[in-house]
């Protein structure tokens, strides 16, 4: 063995080294403890403890409430009885115990016999196999004998057991006779105290205990902790990790523990049991505000099928506030979060893109997720903000330039410009292009010129020349197109105004007398253009006259219907509208392009492919007019005017805008923030700024004219921008598999098809239907009876034949109304689509049946006639030519002579029984309140019979 | 004032200035090592570096880059490299002074023998414990910089190699992948393997010295400090989005644009000088570049052996000399190419794009 060297021969001072060793060992221990704690200490555990406390508090309160409702007398009585019973049981104790002993012995025998039988059974099973093996090649008597023996043993054992079981049953009956009453009392007592006992058990479970402490202690908590991560796997929803698509797993309710706990309320809405949906509950414990629709187990989107992150976004598996991708809704939230959670955007220190692409969608933006599953519908249910965004997108014709899935089959949003020389003057076009809002403040035509990146004087000069050039091209291409009729006479302007205000023009058009003043009609409800100052735009009486009489002559695909104005009426309205002038606009000078600028435009346009000397030569050879037209053509291509308008020469050109079909999931680094540094680096902020000032991202950039951003200015309001951003965010890559999306039933498909038509034709402009209020009703606040009818239950109400005829060729139903149902010129397909839409909405089966399939019973009809008079139906209703006397036009009720051909006989029954239910607020009185007849002495006083009689009478009216 | 200073430093950090500056500094350090390695001077330099770092951390852009969990070790590496070089140079300086005075080196004095236990193993164990503590604290405090799932459609910008390969990645700016990624790394390895076999210098064994091994140390440290450590630092701190260069106080703007047009040697010859237009076949087109590279690789060593390095050649012998020269010249190809790029916008000496053979 080697000798230990003496300490003083060591190279280092060992005492010092030992000290270092001691210190580093202590440090190591400390660091290991720190590491364990760091691993153990999670926010969600704290939330779970806090929630436990909260639950305990509530359970205690509940316990107090329950205790006060207990029937103390009854309980005392039961307790007393139980005591007495126990006492009497004690007296018979010896006998009782004897029987119990007997039972125990029997029980032991049963156990023994059970074992015997089990052995015999397994022997038998094995023997059966052996026997089957033996007889494979013929009968074997020895084997059979052996098998029979086994079988007998088993059956004997079974018999034994059954006998013993019968015995024990008998013993138990005898034993129970002793305790029967006591058991009953005990049960009754338990029942009386059930709520209390349950709550007590719950409180016990929620209270801290040494065992619980141990189970949740660091390191020991791997065994069976009570604080656990809650998660819900969603097998057919997925997260796309690019190389791997994995099933979604949401753990949000690890902290959001009260998400499903609603308050229990009684019939009057008083809270019986407080849940977590009350205002005083703080996050993360708040219940979901719409448990009827989301999360709740009975809702359409239960937690275990949809989770949370499928709609809200964010990282569903994450367990910390920051990693989950919480996004503040308001500035206020942001401030609080920064303090409380050290919140920061989840990106690479603002340098690059996000660490998780699908951060939570704050506030109304969550509606953007609806589109993942709800596609192919005109309006997404329960998503008002998203629907508003989609509507704005459609109304303003964004899809004209930006190809977008779901909006590809819509008509070009603007009117055709292939023959605009027939309609307006070049001077008007130039002024309009310069600033459309100068002529019509509410127009949806955006402004292309003199915006934030083109407002320098030289840019304005250039813009004026561009306007000149575009106008030149449009007029150069204009070809004669329309056959015009001559307006008869000068027309009566006052009469025209009356007509305009009464026949229904205002269902689609407004006429703002004082621009800037908020009108009766909200922007979202405006369909056709505002007609103020129309005379400054349209100067040809024949044009307007022809347009009013037959709009499709000038514009085949117009949405403007014909109101069947007579020649005189049309002339009157023409006179009225042409007389409306916008003096300010008329007085403004039209922009004039300088001839030097047209050369500059062409130089810029050609410079990519031609040398400057070649351009100079070419320009020298061109006439000025030619130059303007050539420049105009280039510019229309540049600005993409043909995205919205039909323009000759651009029939097949693709729209110029970025496709938006997946814009909502576009990589952040593909959005050029340019020199804009005052906004957050988020999609929301970028889209918002782009919509507020489409040229904003040219700020601080030096660009050639043709390289500048060219999206025009729509002057969206903040609210519109917010809604549009939600819509854009909804346009994402497909993330939900087709089989998990919402599928429309055949009936719903029909509804959606019709709904599309109804929106395109602006039926909501006049009719209150399908969740929309008739816009025009705003003008009829004084006498709603003069407004166009409300179309509720129309599919049930009217006969398909009749509706078809009516849609194709509307006739008068309510003679007292001045407002007219327009002639839309529906094709057969379109008319059918609308009829099936109404019927599908009311779940009416489309059945072809003979026109007279309901034949009124003559006897009943006669009785009905008597009732008809008694109930004074004709006090309001028109019947054929007979009008009720002394009633104002708005107070009349529909002509009953039309009922036979128009109404569904079944519907008349429903209507007569309870009109208010079918159309709340109707002026039709309810005669048969709660099934009681008002005329007890007819037809046995039976309400159903009387209603049938009335119906049959009505169907005989002529 | 501060902005001007920041701007100045940003400008100085541009590779065209920064790398020559570092090269000059490198040779100055080796020349004035005795002065610079004095504790007071070295301490002053360290203090200056720490102050520079600390003050710079006040700048947002600087802090964002330097404090990224990814980049923290690079700072450590810089300071540790500096410390190790100082240690060596300091001891070399003391020894060289002693040798000049006719004394033996420090290491040759006294008994060098120590005990394995406890003088070696105990200390190693202690080191393991302390490093364990440090690593644990580091892993608790600095979260692993995990990013979101990789996407085949979306490369991070900038896309950076692991820090230890950033020197190689920097070479990619100047050479094609087959050279920068395959040939040069192989040569680095073979070169390192060859070092013991080429070292025929009997002096300087077992003690620190610069005087006795000036050539060996200079060549090695040039390769290590300049072509490896410095390029790693450059790649980490100064290369931002699109592999554009950014000064230490500059914002990493994704949209920064740098002029990037370069031309080949053949274009310089046929278009700029001769004005005859490019030959259509690659051989006559690239013959100049091929001749240049062949001359550099094969003729230059012979010429040097006959002239400047006559003594060196005599000492080394044919095989050793050639192996050494080959590796050395290949190493020097990088700085040469850098200078050519900066001065003439040279893209390739040889550009046979038809066969993906570019040098």
Task: Tell the burial category of A386 from Cβ atoms under 10 Å away from its Cβ (0-12, 13-18, 19+).
Answer: buried
- Whether the CB-CB separation of A424 and A537 falls below 8 Å is answered with yes
Q: What is the DSSP letter of A447?
A: B
Residue B198 domain-assigned (yes or no) = no
Q: Do B130 and A24 touch (CB under 8 A)?
A: yes
CA-nearest residue to A315 within chain B is B148
Residue B343 domain-assigned (yes or no) = yes
Confidence at residue A200, expressed as pLDDT on a 0 to 100 scale: 92
Residues A233 and A736: their CA atoms lie apart, in Å, by: 15
Residue B152 domain-assigned (yes or no) = no
Residues A115 and A158: their CA atoms lie apart, in Å, by: 11
Residue given tokens 């006779």 in the structure block? A177
B224 and B95 within one domain: yes
- Whether the CB-CB separation of A211 and A224 falls below 8 Å is answered with no
Q: Do B118 and A10 touch (CB under 8 A)?
A: yes
Q: Tell me whether 0.85 is exceeded by the ipTM.
A: no
Q: Do A351 and B126 touch (CB under 8 A)?
A: no
Q: Which residues of A touch B123 (CB under 8 A)?
A: 12, 17
CA-nearest residue to B156 within chain A is A352
Min distance A241 CA to chain B CA atoms (Å) = 5
* Ranges of chain B whose pLDDT falls below 70: 111-112
Min distance B150 CA to chain A CA atoms (Å) = 7
DSSP A215-254: HTSTTGGGS--SS----EEEEEEEEE-SS-EEEEEE-GGG
Count of H-run helices and E-run strands, chain B: 17, 2
CA-nearest residue to B117 within chain A is A10
Task: Tell the burial category of A42 from Cβ atoms under 10 Å away from its Cβ (0-12, 13-18, 19+).
Answer: middle
B220 and B82 within one domain: yes
Min distance B156 CA to chain A CA atoms (Å) = 8
B270 and B320 within one domain: yes
CA-nearest residue to A350 within chain B is B64
Residues 6+ apart with CB under 8 A from A712: A446, A447, A448, A451, A639, A694
Residues A858 and A948: their CA atoms lie apart, in Å, by: 11
Min distance A32 CA to chain B CA atoms (Å) = 8
B6 and B66 within one domain: yes
Confidence at residue A352, expressed as pLDDT on a 0 to 100 scale: 44
Architecture of domain A381-413+659-733: Orthogonal Bundle (1.10)
Residue B21 domain-assigned (yes or no) = yes
Contact A25/B at CB under 8 A: yes
Domain residue limits at B67: 2-106+119-144+163-171+207-243
- Whether the CB-CB separation of A927 and A911 falls below 8 Å is answered with no
Contact B104/A at CB under 8 A: no
B277 and B128 within one domain: no
Q: Do B254 and A669 touch (CB under 8 A)?
A: yes
Min distance B7 CA to chain A CA atoms (Å) = 20
B351 and B239 within one domain: no
Min distance B115 CA to chain A CA atoms (Å) = 7
* Tens digit of each residue's pLDDT (9 = 90 or more) over A722-781: 999 999 999 988 778 888 899 999 999 999 999 999 999 999 999 998 888 889 988 888
> Which conformational region is residue A463 in: left (phi greater than 0), alpha (psi within -120 to 50 degrees), or beta?
alpha
B348 and B236 within one domain: no
Residues A338 and A812: their CA atoms lie apart, in Å, by: 66
Contact B136/A at CB under 8 A: yes
Residues A379 and A73: their CA atoms lie apart, in Å, by: 60
Confidence at residue B145, expressed as pLDDT on a 0 to 100 scale: 74
Residues A158 and A357: their CA atoms lie apart, in Å, by: 68
DSSP B65-124: HHTSTTTHHHHHHHHHHHHHHHHHHHHHHHHHHHHHTTPPPGGGSS-----IIIIIHHHH
**Residues 635 to 674 of A: which have CB under 8 A from any B CB?**
667, 669, 672, 674
Give the closest of A27, A28, A241 to B149, CB-based: A241
* Tens digit of each residue's pLDDT (9 = 90 or more) over A177-187: 888 888 899 99
Contact A356/B at CB under 8 A: yes
CATH 3.30.70.260 fits A71-192, yes or no: no
Q: Which residues of A touch B118 (CB under 8 A)?
A: 10, 12, 14, 17
Confidence at residue A516, expressed as pLDDT on a 0 to 100 scale: 62
Residues B238 and B15: their CA atoms lie apart, in Å, by: 9
Which listed CATH number (1.10.760.10, 3.40.50.300, 3.40.228.10, 2.40.50.100) goes with A858-954? Answer: 1.10.760.10
Residue B323 domain-assigned (yes or no) = yes
B218 and B85 within one domain: yes
CA-nearest residue to A701 within chain B is B255
Contact B151/A at CB under 8 A: yes
Q: What is the DSSP letter of A454?
A: S
Say how many domains are in chain B. 2
What's the N-to-C CA distance of chain A in angstroms?
132
Cα–Cα distance list, A854 to A900, A903, A905 (Å): 10, 11, 7
Give the closest of B133, B150, B151 to A28, CB-based: B133
CB atoms inside a 10 Å sphere around CB B323: 16
Q: Which residues of A touch B132 (CB under 8 A)?
A: 28, 31
Q: Which residues of B touch A357 (CB under 8 A)?
A: 148
List the single best residue of B69, B147, B155, B256 to mutate versus A (max A Cβ within 10 A).
Answer: B147
A/B interface, count of CB pairs below 8 Å: 75
Take residue A924 and report the two structure tokens written for it: 């039709």
Min distance A12 CA to chain B CA atoms (Å) = 7
Min distance B87 CA to chain A CA atoms (Å) = 20
Residues A947 and A864: their CA atoms lie apart, in Å, by: 8
- Domain positions in chain A are 8-41, 71-192, 232-360, 381-413+659-733, 420-643, 746-841, 858-954
Residues A193 and A732: their CA atoms lie apart, in Å, by: 56
CB atoms inside a 10 Å sphere around CB B306: 10
- Say yes or no: do domains A71-192 and A746-841 share a fold: no
Contact A222/B at CB under 8 A: no
Residues 6+ apart with CB under 8 A from B305: B313, B321
Predicted TM-score (pTM) of this structure: 0.84
Contact B252/A at CB under 8 A: yes
Radius of gyration of the CA atoms of chain A, in A: 42
Confidence at residue A1, expressed as pLDDT on a 0 to 100 scale: 45
Q: Which residues of B touch A349 (CB under 8 A)?
A: 64, 68
**Residues 38 to 77 of B: which have CB under 8 A from any A CB?**
64, 68
- Whether the CB-CB separation of A668 and A353 falls below 8 Å is answered with yes
Give the closest of B118, B152, B252 to A242, CB-based: B152
Residues B235 and A741: their CA atoms lie apart, in Å, by: 48
Specify the pairing of strand A264-265 against strand A245-250.
Answer: unpaired
* Tens digit of each residue's pLDDT (9 = 90 or more) over B3-30: 899 999 999 988 889 999 999 999 999 9
Residue B252 domain-assigned (yes or no) = no
- Whether the CB-CB separation of A840 and A748 falls below 8 Å is answered with yes
Give the closest of B119, B153, B156 to A12, CB-based: B119
Cα–Cα distance list, A692 to A285, A328, A724 (Å): 37, 22, 11
Which listed CATH number (3.40.1000, 1.10.10, 1.10.760, 1.25.40) goes with A746-841? Answer: 1.10.760
Give the closest of A28, A244, A349 to B129, CB-based: A28
Min distance B120 CA to chain A CA atoms (Å) = 9
Q: What is the DSSP letter of A271?
A: E
* Ranges of chain A whose pLDDT falls below 50: 1, 348-353
CB atoms inside a 10 Å sphere around CB A349: 14
Q: Do B119 and A35 touch (CB under 8 A)?
A: no
What's the N-to-C CA distance of chain B in angstroms?
45
């Amino acid at each position: 063995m080697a000798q230990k060297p003496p300490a003083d021969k060591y190279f280092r001072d060992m005492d010092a080294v030992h000290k270092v060793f001691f210190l580093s060992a202590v440090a190591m221990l400390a660091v290991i403890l720190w590491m364990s704690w760091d691993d153990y200490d999670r926010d969600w555990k704290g939330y779970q403890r806090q929630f436990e406390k909260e639950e305990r508090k509530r359970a205690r309160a509940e316990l107090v409430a329950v205790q006060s409702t207990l029937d103390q007398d009854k309980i005392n009585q039961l307790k007393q009885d139980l005591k007495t019973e126990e006492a009497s049981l004690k007296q018979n104790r010896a006998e009782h115990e004897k029987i119990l002993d007997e039972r125990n012995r029997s029980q032991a025998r049963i156990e023994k016999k059970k074992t015997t039988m089990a052995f015999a059974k397994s022997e038998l099973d094995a023997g059966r196999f052996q026997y089957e093996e033996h007889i494979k090649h013929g009968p074997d008597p020895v084997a059979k004998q052996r098998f029979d023996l086994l079988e007998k043993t088993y059956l004997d054992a079974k018999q034994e057991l059954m006998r013993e079981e019968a015995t024990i049953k008998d013993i138990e009956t005898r034993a129970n006779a002793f305790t029967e009453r006591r058991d009953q009392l005990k049960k009754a007592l338990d029942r009386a105290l059930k709520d209390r006992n349950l709550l007590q058990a719950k409180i016990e479970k929620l209270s801290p205990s040494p065992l619980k402490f141990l189970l949740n202690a660091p390191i020991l908590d791997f065994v069976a902790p009570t604080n656990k991560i809650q998660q819900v796997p969603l097998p057919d929803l997925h997260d796309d990790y690019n190389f791997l698509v994995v099933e979604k797993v949401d753990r949000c309710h690890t902290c959001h523990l009260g998400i499903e706990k609603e308050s229990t309320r009684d019939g009057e809405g008083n809270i019986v049991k407080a849940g977590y949906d009350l205002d005083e509950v703080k996050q993360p414990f708040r219940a979901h505000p719409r448990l009827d629709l989301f999360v709740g187990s009975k809702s359409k989107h239960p937690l275990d099928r949809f989770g949370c992150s499928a709609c809200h976004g964010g990282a569903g598996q994450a367990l910390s506030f920051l990693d989950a991708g919480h996004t503040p809704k308001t500035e206020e939230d942001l401030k609080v979060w920064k303090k409380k959670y050290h919140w920061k955007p989840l990106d690479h220190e603002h340098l690059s893109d996000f660490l998780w692409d699908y951060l939570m969608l704050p506030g109304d933006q969550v509606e953007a997720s609806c589109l993942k599953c709800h596609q192919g519908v005109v309006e997404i249910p329960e998503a008002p903000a998203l629907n508003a965004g989609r509507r704005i997108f459609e109304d303003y014709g964004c899809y004209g330039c930006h190809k977008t899935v779901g909006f590809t089959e819509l008509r070009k949003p603007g009117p055709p410009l292939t023959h605009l020389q027939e309609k307006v003057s070049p001077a008007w076009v130039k002024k309009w292009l310069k600033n459309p809002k100068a002529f019509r403040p509410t127009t949806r035509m955006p402004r292309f010129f003199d915006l934030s990146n083109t407002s320098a004087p030289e840019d304005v000069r250039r813009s004026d020349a561009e306007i000149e050039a575009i106008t030149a091209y449009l007029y150069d291409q204009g070809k004669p197109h329309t056959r015009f009729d001559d307006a008869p006479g000068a027309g009566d302007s006052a009469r025209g105004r009356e007509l305009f205000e009464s026949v229904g023009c205002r269902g689609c058009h407004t006429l703002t007398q004082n621009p800037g003043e908020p009108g009766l009609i909200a922007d979202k409800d405006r369909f056709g253009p505002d007609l103020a100052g129309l005379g400054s735009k349209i100067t040809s009486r024949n044009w307007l006259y022809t347009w009013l009489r037959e709009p499709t002559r000038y514009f085949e695909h117009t949405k403007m219907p014909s109101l069947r104005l007579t020649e005189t009426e049309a002339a009157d309205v023409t006179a009225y509208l042409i007389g409306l002038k916008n003096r300010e606009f008329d007085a403004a000078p039209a922009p004039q392009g300088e001839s030097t600028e047209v050369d500059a435009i062409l130089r810029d346009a050609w410079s990519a492919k031609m040398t400057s000397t070649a351009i100079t030569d070419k320009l020298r050879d061109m006439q000025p007019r030619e130059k303007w037209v050539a420049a105009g053509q280039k510019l229309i291509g540049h600005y993409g005017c043909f995205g919205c308008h039909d323009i000759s020469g651009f029939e097949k050109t693709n729209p110029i805008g970025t496709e938006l079909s997946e814009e909502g999931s576009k990589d952040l680094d593909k959005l050029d923030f340019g020199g804009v540094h005052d906004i957050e680096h988020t999609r929301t902020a970028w889209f918002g700024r782009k919509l507020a000032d489409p040229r904003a991202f040219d700020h601080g950039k030096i660009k050639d004219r043709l390289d500048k951003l060219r999206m025009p200015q729509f002057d969206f309001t903040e609210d519109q921008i917010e809604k549009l951003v939600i819509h854009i965010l909804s346009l994402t890559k497909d993330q939900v598999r087709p089989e998990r999306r919402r599928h429309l039933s055949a009936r719903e498909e029909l509804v959606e098809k019709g709904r599309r038509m109804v929106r395109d034709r602006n039926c909501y402009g006049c009719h209150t239907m399908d969740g929309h209020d008739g816009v025009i009703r705003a003008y009829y606040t004084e006498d709603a009876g003069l407004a166009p009818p409300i179309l509720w239950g129309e599919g049930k109400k009217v006969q398909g034949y009749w509706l078809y005829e009516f849609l194709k060729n509307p006739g008068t139903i309510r003679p007292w109304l001045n407002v007219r149902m327009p002639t839309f010129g529906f094709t057969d397909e379109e008319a059918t689509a609308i009829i099936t839409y109404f019927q599908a909405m009311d779940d009416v089966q489309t059945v072809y049946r003979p026109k007279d399939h309901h034949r009124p019973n003559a006897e009943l009809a006669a009785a009905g006639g008597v009732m008809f008079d008694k109930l004074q139906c004709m006090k309001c209703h028109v019947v054929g030519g007979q009008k009720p006397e002394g009633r104002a036009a708005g107070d009349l009720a529909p002509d009953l002579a039309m009922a036979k051909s128009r109404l569904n006989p079944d519907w008349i029954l429903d209507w007569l029984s309870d009109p208010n239910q079918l159309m709340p607020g109707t002026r039709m009185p309810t005669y048969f309140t709660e099934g009681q007849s008002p005329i007890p002495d007819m037809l046995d006083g039976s309400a159903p019979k009387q209603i049938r009689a009335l119906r049959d009478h009505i169907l005989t009216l002529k | 004032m501060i902005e001007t200073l920041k701007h100045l430093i940003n400008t100085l950090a541009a590779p065209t200035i920064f790398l020559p500056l570092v090269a000059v500094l490198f040779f100055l350090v080796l020349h004035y090592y005795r002065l610079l390695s004095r504790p007071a001077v070295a301490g002053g330099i360290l203090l200056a570096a720490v102050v520079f770092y600390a003050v710079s951390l006040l700048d947002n852009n600087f802090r964002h880059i330097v404090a990224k969990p990814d980049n923290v070790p690079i700072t450590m590496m810089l300071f540790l490299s500096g410390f190790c070089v100082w240690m060596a140079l300091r001891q070399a300086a003391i020894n060289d002074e002693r040798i000049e005075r006719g004394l033996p080196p420090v290491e040759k004095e006294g008994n060098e023998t120590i005990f394995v236990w406890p003088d070696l193993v105990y200390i190693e164990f202690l080191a393991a414990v302390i490093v364990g503590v440090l690593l644990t604290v580091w892993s608790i405090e600095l979260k692993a910089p995990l990013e979101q799932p990789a996407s085949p459609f979306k490369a991070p910008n900038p896309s950076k190699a692991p820090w230890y390969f950033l020197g190689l990645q920097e070479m990619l700016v100047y050479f094609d992948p087959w050279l920068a990624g395959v040939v040069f790394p192989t040569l680095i390895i073979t070169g390192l393997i060859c070092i013991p076999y080429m070292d025929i210098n009997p002096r300087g064994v077992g003690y620190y010295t610069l005087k006795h091994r000036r050539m060996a140390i200079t060549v090695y440290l040039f390769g290590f400090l300049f072509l490896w450590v410095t390029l790693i630092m450059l790649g980490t701190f100064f290369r931002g989005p699109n592999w554009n260069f950014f000064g230490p106080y500059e914002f990493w703007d994704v949209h920064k644009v740098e002029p990037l047009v370069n031309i080949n040697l053949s274009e310089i010859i046929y278009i700029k000088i001769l004005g005859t237009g490019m030959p259509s076949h690659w051989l006559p087109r690239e013959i100049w570049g091929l001749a240049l590279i062949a001359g550099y690789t094969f003729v230059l060593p012979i010429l040097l052996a006959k002239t400047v390095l006559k003594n060196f050649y005599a000492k080394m012998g044919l095989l050793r000399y050639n192996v050494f020269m080959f590796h050395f010249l290949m190493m020097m190809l990088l700085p040469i190419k850098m200078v050519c790029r900066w001065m003439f916008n040279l893209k390739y000496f040889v550009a046979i794009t038809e066969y993906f053979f570019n040098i």
